[in-house]
Copies of this chain bind each other. A is one copy, B any other.
Amino acid sequence: MIYFDCDYLEGAHPKILESLIKSNMEQLEGYGTDKYCEKAKLLIKQHCNTNDIDVHFLVGGTQTNKTVISSILRPHQGVISAVSGHINTHETGAIELSGHKVLALPSDDGKLTSKQIEETYLSHINDSKKEHTVKPGMVYVSNPTECGTIYSKTELSRISEVCRKHNLPLFLDGARLGYGLTAEGNDLTLSDLTNLCDVFYIGGTKVGALFGEAVVITSDALKEDFRYFIKQNGALLAKGRLLGIQFSALFEETLYFDIAKSANHLSIKIKEAFLQHNIPMYINSATNQQFPILTQEQVNKLEQKYSFCFWEELEDDKAVYRFCTSWATTKENVDTLIEDIQTL
């Protein structure tokens, strides 16, 4: 069986594992105050082209989303998100558990527009009984989105502008950020994100690490006391070194980007194979997730050899499925898949 289910099927990229092995017996302070965390923070600051940011390391995505969002919002505020946003769909209500409504806006491609955000905000502010409704308090976007699409620099700049105009902190969920920043057509950089967002994170779990998400806080107002929030949300790893070591390995040179680029390359090959065989894609993704629309018959054939994800039911006995690539996906397996697609 060849797996295309997700981008966290294996352990860690060999270079990361090697760093963990090498440093295993060093005695280091706990809770992320060790030298490897310091180093990783410095490296990320260099990649972001500024020292004026705070970097923290957390373990997983839901944890990070919850910790960041609940640290920002006051009790009467909600977070604007695309209806497809991970916080709105697949985090078991973690945001609501922390007391906040997700203000979900419609979206076909997983993205929000600056226009939507501004209309939502103004519609609230101009409501004469606004205190009876949840106040928009921040904006959550994911890049790439849950369906693999990416924001252009222009799009994100407009969103950032609207957010700053209305004092809405902008938070970018980068669980798969690497794939976005190295996608064909992408024109955003870490430095751009630093300028445009108030807080974002660089996902490690899905880009070669055992686990780990690096939160970058650019807004001074959001920096204060963040370690309390990490601890309070059960996200302060005792052996914090593990995060510092992994992110050091990812950012010491260009490993983070190399991993993502290679996975994107294989993903695009799969997409093209489907399209050439007249199998439509649910959405045009430039990143490491592809969403072909398959008939049950096609699924039956592919399932004999491949494992992949059911995504969404459509009409006419068709459905959307997800094929994912990662640092560990081999060219050979992709080629085999492409061959088999041609026989569908």
Interface string of A89-109 (1 = CB under 8 A from B): 111111011111110000000
Give the CA-CA distance A232 to B233 in the complex, in Å: 11
Instruction: Let me know if A211 is at the binding interface, CB within 8 A.
Output: yes
Give the CA-CA distance A64 to B233 in the complex, in Å: 11
- A85 CB to closest chain B CB (Å) equals 13
Interface string of A218-241 (1 = CB under 8 A from B): 000000010111111111111101
Instruction: Let me know if A206 is at the binding interface, CB within 8 A.
Output: yes
Instruction: Let me know if A131 is at the binding interface, CB within 8 A.
Output: yes
**Helix, strand, loop or mixed for chain A's interface?**
loop
Instruction: Let me know if A71 is at the binding interface, CB within 8 A.
Output: yes
CB-CB < 8 A to A78: which residues of B? Answer: 93, 96
Which A residues between 4 and 33 are near B, CB-CB below 8 angstroms? 5-6, 8-12, 14, 17, 20-21, 23-31
Instruction: Let me know if A287 is at the binding interface, CB within 8 A.
Output: no
Instruction: Let me know if A190 is at the binding interface, CB within 8 A.
Output: no
Instruction: Let me know if A331 is at the binding interface, CB within 8 A.
Output: no
Give the CA-CA distance A234 to B58 in the complex, in Å: 10
Instruction: Let me know if A66 is at the binding interface, CB within 8 A.
Output: yes
Q: Judging by beta carbons under 8 Å apart, are B17 and A234 in contact?
A: no
Give the CA-CA distance A94 to B94 in the complex, in Å: 14
Number of A residues whose C-beta is below 8 Å from B? 76
Residue of B nearest to A26 (CB): B10
Q: Judging by beta carbons under 8 Å apart, are B234 and A60 in contact?
A: yes
CB-CB < 8 A to A260: which residues of B? Answer: none
Which A residues between 37 and 64 are near B, CB-CB below 8 angstroms? 59-64
CB-CB < 8 A to A230: which residues of B? Answer: 131
Q: Judging by beta carbons under 8 Å apart, are A96 and B94 in contact?
A: no
Identify which of A6, A78, A232 gathers the most chain B CB atoms within 10 Å of its CB. A232
Q: Judging by beta carbons under 8 Å apart, are B234 and A25 in contact?
A: no
Q: Judging by beta carbons under 8 Å apart, are B24 and A92 in contact?
A: no
Chain A to chain B contacts (Cβ below 8 Å), 22 pairs? A10-B24, A11-B26, A14-B24, A66-B234, A67-B234, A71-B74, A75-B97, A90-B132, A92-B131, A92-B132, A92-B231, A93-B100, A93-B232, A98-B99, A99-B99, A101-B102, A131-B228, A205-B238, A210-B242, A211-B238, A211-B239, A234-B235
